[in-house]
Amino acid sequence: MKDKQKYLLLRYSSGYVRDCILQHRQVLQEKGFCWYGKIGNVPSDRILNTVFGEPEPQMVLYRKNAAYLCRMDKYSLKKPSEGTPTYYETEGIFPSIYFRLTAIDECDPIIFHDSIVVSTGTFVEDVVYHSRIPFMLCQYIDESKHELLDSRDCRYRKDEFCTCRSCVNYGCFCERPSTCKKQRR
């Protein structure tokens, strides 16, 4: 992913269909594209215009312990006539929006370490594992080019030690401020 690339992070579930990514990949291999349907709330026009305004629109499909980087070329609020896995019909799944994917690649969740949520400036890894938000507009930040990583520091961290009296780590060396429960930005 390129520096400052904005993308849609979309949480998905294997609760409806266990191998939904595999089925989408099979359709993609057969047709050269597939439509991925999102159930529930539709991302706002602002989010969609931002993502599809990028030179290479991308989406990350995420669930616990799995992430897939997808290239997209358009979306539709209407059901496509072809290019969807059969489970949409057989399982009675009715998405509210469809994204046409041209590639689905496994992705290392480390991408969340190098991305921020556009609306809050919070690092994606600090949000995605503790939230049930179905989608977010995110921006990839190449850590080698940005001083943004300094903002991961906890406000209670002074001279490398925790100064929060109510924290179990009080007075101890603070080696992972981004995962501290008392962290405030």
Same domain for 25 and 77?
Answer: yes
56 domain residue, yes or no: yes
Exposure class string for 146-166: b at 16+ Cβ within 10 A, else e: eeeeeebebebbeeeebebee
Same domain for 92 and 123?
Answer: yes
pLDDT digits (tens, 9 = 90+) for 53-89: 999 999 999 988 889 999 999 999 999 999 999 998 8
Give residue for tokens 């997209």.
72
Percent of the chain scored above 90 by pLDDT? 46
Structural domain that includes position 66: 6-143
Looking at the chain, which runs of residues are DSSP E strands? 6-11, 34-38, 58-63, 66-76, 97-106, 115-117, 135-140, 157-158, 161-162
> Would you state the structure tokens that stand for residue 132, as one six-digit string?
């049930």
| Structure-model confidence comparison of residues 143 and 86, the more confident one | 86
The total number of residues shown for the chain amounts to: 185
Quote the pLDDT of residue 149.
Answer: 47
Same domain for 53 and 79?
Answer: yes
Same domain for 40 and 125?
Answer: yes
Q: Residue 98 above 70 pLDDT?
A: yes
What distance in Å separates the CA atoms of residue 29 and residue 24, rounded to the nearest whole number? Answer: 9
Quote the pLDDT of residue 151.
Answer: 47
75 domain residue, yes or no: yes
What distance in Å separates the CA atoms of residue 89 and residue 162, rounded to the nearest whole number? Answer: 55
Same domain for 97 and 174?
Answer: no
Same domain for 123 and 166?
Answer: no
Same domain for 115 and 160?
Answer: no
Same domain for 77 and 167?
Answer: no
Q: How many domains does the chain have?
A: 2
pTM: predicted TM-score of the whole model, two decimal places:
0.77
